[in-house]
Amino acid sequence: MDAGHRACTVLIRETTDLLLARFVAGPAIASFDRPISQIAVPMPYQSLRDFIDELEKTDRLVRVSEPVSPYLEMTEIQTRLLAEGGPAVLFENVIGEDGQKYDMPVLVNLFGTVDRVAAGMNRKPEELREVGETLAFLKQPEPPGSLKEAFSMLPLAKTVMAMKPKTVSKAPCQEIVLEGDDIDLSKLPIQSCWPGEPAPLITWPLVVTQGPTANEKGGDKRDVFNLGIYRMQVLGKNKAIMRWLKHRGGAQHHARWKKEKRDPLPAAIVLGADPGTILAAVTPVPDTLSEYQFAGLLRGEKVELVDCKTVPLKVPATAEIILEGYVSLDEYAPEGPYGDHTGYYNSVEEFPVFTLTAITMRKKPIYLSTFTGRPPDEPSVLGEALNDVFVPLLQQQFPEIVDFWLPPEGCSYRIAVVSMKKAYPGHAKRVMMGVWSFLRQFMYTKFVIVVDDDIDVRDWKDVMWAISTRMDPVRDITTVTETPIDYLDFASPESGLGGKLGLDATNKLPPETHREWGEKIFMEDEIIDRVDAKWDRYGLPGSGKKIWK
- What CATH number did the domain enclosing 339 receive? 2.30.110.10
Asked whether the bond before 376 is cis by omega within 30 degrees of 0, the reply is yes
Question: Looking at residue 245, what is its pLDDT?
Answer: 87
Residue 337 burial by Cβ neighbours in a 10 Å radius (0-12, 13-18, 19+)? middle
Is residue 128 in a domain? yes
Per DSSP, the three-state class of 26 is coil
Say which amino acid occupies 189.
P
Q: Which domain holds residue 215?
A: 48-142+164-368
Q: Cβ(79)–Cβ(70) under 8 Å?
A: no
For residue 302, being part of any structural domain is answered with yes
Rounded to whole angstroms, how far apart are CA atoms 163 and 186? 37
**Separation between Cα atoms, residue 322 and residue 521, nearest integer Å:** 61
CB neighbour list of residue 76: distance below 8 Å, 6 or more residues apart: none
* R_g (Cα) of the chain, nearest Å: 26
Helix, strand, or coil (residue 264): coil
Asked if residue 7 is part of any domain, the answer here is no
pLDDT tens profile 385-437: 998 899 998 998 899 999 999 998 888 889 999 999 999 999 999 999 999 99
Given 223, 274, 340, 377, which residue is catalytic? 340
pLDDT score recorded for residue 147: 60
Is the residue at 529 inside a domain?
A: no
Report if residue 410 sits inside a domain: no
Judge whether 459 counts as a catalytic residue: no
Residue 536 has what pLDDT? 94
Low pLDDT (below 50) residues in the chain? 1-41, 155-158, 160
Buried b (16+ CB within 10 A) or exposed e, 44-75: bbbbbbebbebbeeeebbeebeeebbbbebbb
3-state helix, strand, coil in the chain (%, to 5): 35, 25, 45
Q: How many CB atoms lie under 10 A from the CB of residue 518?
A: 9
Full-model pTM:
0.86
Strands 367-368 and 106-108, bridge-based pairing: parallel
Q: Which of 197, 190, 203 is nearest to 345 (CA)?
A: 197
Length of the chain: 549
- Residue 533 falls inside a structural domain: no
Q: Where are the alpha helices (DSSP H) in 281-424?
A: 291-299, 378-397
37 in any annotated domain: no
pLDDT value of position 33: 37
Q: Write out the H or E segment, with its range, that includes residue 500.
A: strand 497-505
How far apart CA 344 and CA 337 sit, in angstroms, is 9
Instruction: Tell me the C-alpha distance between 265 and 335, whole Å.
Output: 19
Contact between 191 and 74 (Cβ < 8 Å): yes
Is residue 315 within 8 A of residue 308, CB to CB? The reply is yes
In a domain, 33, yes or no: no
- d(C-alpha 478, C-alpha 484), whole Å: 16
Q: Please tell me the predicted confidence (pLDDT) of residue 86.
A: 97
* Count of the separate structural domains present in the chain: 1
